[in-house]
Structure 1
Amino acid sequence: MKKAFIILTTVLFATVAQGQTLTQQDLMGTWLVSNVENTNSNPKMASAMADAVINLYADNSFEIKEKQQSGANYTYKTTTHKNATWSYNPSTQTISTTRSKMELKITQTGGKTYFTDTDSGLKFEVTKPI
């Protein structure tokens, strides 16, 4: 009976761990930053990333667009370097970018997805609108 419990527990943990692993295909697309946590670690970057858009394209190009307020309307300004690319390491669940040398740790908690900038410590709650 004890062995059956140990086997059942091991299978349960393996299933939960596997369910949280994202693939590169899962990450491709447009991500909207809906919330920024740990804002005190880098207030300027936290302000810039509020309501930003992170695009991870299928050709591995990468861009961040910051929301710009201009009166009643708003626009987005691309802030990443030209020809920036991204790569994904599924074993560490991290996205690495060229040019800006940004590394984002991907986590999922309570049905929400987070990108944490490993350099600044800023944690971005992100959603895929489509």
Structure 2
Amino acid sequence: MKNLIVLFAFVLFAATAQSQSLTQKDVTGTWLVVNVENSNSNPKMAAAMTNAVINLYADNSFEIKEKQQNGTAYTYNTTSNKNATWSFNASTQTINTTRTKMTLKISKSGDKTFFTDSESGLKFEVNKPI
């Protein structure tokens, strides 16, 4: 009976861990930053990333577009380096970028997805609007 309980607990844990893992296909696409947490750790970057768009393209290129208010209209300015690329490590659930040298740790909480920048400590709540 004890072995059965241990086996059941292991299967439950494995299923939970597996369900929260993302694949490169899941990560690829356009992500909208809907909230920035820990903004006190880097207020300037937090302000810039509010409502930003992170594009992780299938060809492994990427760009970050920051929302700018020009008068009454909003525009997006690309702030990532030209020819920047990204890679995804499924075992650590991290995105690494070239040129900007960002490392984003991906996590999920319920139906929310977060990218946490390891250097600044900023945690971006993101969603895929497209």
TM-score by shorter chain over 0.5: yes
AA aligned to 2:15 is T
Distance 1:75 1:29 in 2: 20
TM-score normalised over the length of structure 2: 0.99
Deviation at 1:71, TM superposition (A): 1.6
CA drift at 1:22: 0.3
> Number of residue pairs matched?
130
Shift of 1:110: 1.5
Q: Deviations over 1:36-68 (max 9, x none)?
A: 000010000000000000000000001000000
Letter in 2 for 1:97: T
Q: Which residue number corresponds to residue 115 of structure 1? A: 115
SS of 1:88's partner is strand
Give the alignment's TM-score, normalised by structure 1.
0.99
Structure 2 unaligned segments of length 5 or more: list them. none
Q: Which runs of 5+ in 1 are unaligned?
A: none
1:22 to 2:22 alignment: yes
**Per-residue deviation at 1:108?**
0.3
Q: Compute the RMSD of aligned alpha carbons.
A: 0.5
Q: Partner amino acid for 2:35?
A: N
CA distance in 1, matches of 2:62, 2:103: 12
Q: Which runs of 4+ in 1 moved over 2 A?
A: none
Tell me the equivalent position of 2:95: 95
Residues in 2 aligned to 1:30 and 1:111: alpha-carbon distance in whole angstroms: 17
